[in-house]
Structure 1
């Protein structure tokens, strides 16, 4: 399959995620049309691309990569008319996304793929109002999209398997790691895992067990280091010694019945909100968001290089 079957990409919605997609597409040598109804969208978009570009230069650009291949078209109909793939990034509101995707479906080419970046809505819900629901999928990325390679690919009840295969091939061609999820579920996979940790973290702060900085340190200097290479299952497989997961489950399995965790989120009271906000401000005192993003990007580039060195064969999509 020729990845160049997808030549023209349109990005609908130029917030943080949309701009991240634009930066990645441009860095991989694609022509990109962006559209957004907000009055200041184009200027914010171009500023965001300029901020991301130094990290992409450090990571390495495709030979054809250029910021000049980006066009802003405020008219949605014109923006999607000739696109081979449309990446939708509207706010997480079901009715808004359904109506937007319905409009895209009416005006896009018949063989164009419509991919939503939604972090939680199921594709069957998104494709309900479409005349060609078989080409609607979820392609959920992670911030910053221009560096983090994971993209969760989810088809709905009416999605064509050919569309899934074409999408996987395309996202692989732009240096991403597509994770094809067999059965749709709210929140997909990675966000459900992150949500569980986030809820427990809020409880720890709310109950006075740890500060935001202490919670972060507990992940950074502990499981986070191992998870970056192995994830939770292989990490615990090694914890079982020579017998691996079998011994780990025999030894620590009974602890799963103990009430250690609180997966129901705590009430987000004004007091808890203030604690979390103040904690994050204290952690980042003297450093702007832009400075923190730059540090994050440089770290991710080096970490990705390290991951490639120690696990070059990671293959999420099952493709050979």
Structure 2
């Protein structure tokens, strides 16, 4: 990514630290139909596929020379799953336009989704460029996996319209989006983004406070770190770990989250009885939340274990299998609307 053409304000200056008032919204979030996706890798491309399936006109830009070809391949690969979920009226891959510049992508956008790689300086510079190029008042959301918006909005002229819209991979299939602003984000921009995502068929968590990694990634990361410890110590294989979730708590988590699941463990006494009964086990050495050293031995063991678990299936085969499985779970648990879209 190149540096922004305009001169960015000094982060310590009043111009940078005092948020500008967001202009009155010209388009209600439910009526917005033109979306720009900046960054077209796995996450950005997944967003493109989702918005196309929901009937939006999408413009996309990515600096990679082969971005357009890869993006259209990704959309084509996702379309069968999206068709199974149920397409919105007028939905079509033909409503995608891949532009030659960032400025062209956002020129007429009513919402912008940024999905650049997880590098803070790159995110900061890109959001500054997007702020300069996007029409006033249009909300700009970042797909960041963990950076607080406060750390990314420091050089934007108008940080008030910058929010986090953190999806789960693949964005075209997993309903969750976590929305949160930074210190200089206008609460109205957060509310607008949440309403927009809901109108676009997403399940939205609007967070009141920033926390690195947000909610879902922090929970997922704790499980991931313990899994690495167990592989590193020879306590479990990759296959053992995956089966322990897919054949165990994962089936319950597909219906309700870990808190309500634990509450049911208390029987008629609910969570209170569960805590009374199992609370002392919190002192037991059942988990290690310090991350293990990701040395070559652990790296190789995890990679080899995944190759073994794939059992000759290609990545494309596994993606198709995963997509069908998630759709089946959504269907089986009543989380599909009348037209088949995830609620």
Does the pair score TM above 0.5?
Answer: yes
Task: Find the aligned partners of 1:2 and 1:108 in 2 and give their Cα distance.
Answer: 17
Q: 2:329 aligns with which of 303, 307, 311?
A: 303
1:113 counterpart residue number: 139
Task: Find the aligned partners of 1:244 and 1:65 in 2 and give their Cα distance.
Answer: 45
Q: 1:230 aligns with which of 249, 256, 268?
A: 256
1:277 counterpart residue number: 303
Task: Find the aligned partners of 1:309 and 1:55 in 2 and give their Cα distance.
Answer: 16
Misfit runs of 4+, over 2 Å:
1-5, 306-312
2:10 counterpart residue number: none
Q: 1:127 aligns with which of 110, 129, 153?
A: 153
- Contact kept? 2:29, 2:193, Cα under 8 Å: no
CA gap 1:309/1:125 in 2 versus in 1, 3 angstroms: closer
Q: 1:189 aligns with which of 215, 228, 251?
A: 215
- Contact kept? 1:14, 1:45, Cα under 8 Å: yes
CA gap 1:217/1:25 in 2 versus in 1, 3 angstroms: same
- Please state if 1:91 is matched with 2:117: yes
1:209 counterpart residue number: 235
Tell me which of the two structures has the higher relative contact order, counting C-alpha pairs closer than 8 angstroms and 6 or more residues apart.
2
Q: 1:32 aligns with which of 51, 54, 58?
A: 58
2:226 counterpart residue number: 200
1:144 counterpart residue number: 170
Task: Find the aligned partners of 1:295 and 1:256 in 2 and give their Cα distance.
Answer: 36
- TM-score normalised by the chain length of structure 2: 0.88
CA RMSD of aligned residues (A): 1.5
Q: 1:41 aligns with which of 67, 72, 87?
A: 67
Task: Find the aligned partners of 2:50 and 2:34 in 1 and give their Cα distance.
Answer: 14
- Aligned to 2:36, what secondary structure does the other structure show? strand
Shift of 1:2: 4.3
Task: Find the aligned partners of 2:132 and 2:208 in 1 and give their Cα distance.
Answer: 27
- Contact kept? 1:85, 1:114, Cα under 8 Å: yes
Task: Find the aligned partners of 2:238 and 2:301 in 1 and give their Cα distance.
Answer: 8
Q: How many residues align?
A: 312
- TM-score normalised by the chain length of structure 1: 0.95
> Where in structure 2 are the equivalents of 1:159-198 lying within 5 Å?
159-198=185-224
Shift of 1:164: 1.4
- Aligned to 2:155, what secondary structure does the other structure show? coil
Task: Find the aligned partners of 1:310 and 1:178 in 2 and give their Cα distance.
Answer: 16
Shift of 1:126: 1.3
Shift of 1:111: 1.0
Shift of 1:310: 10
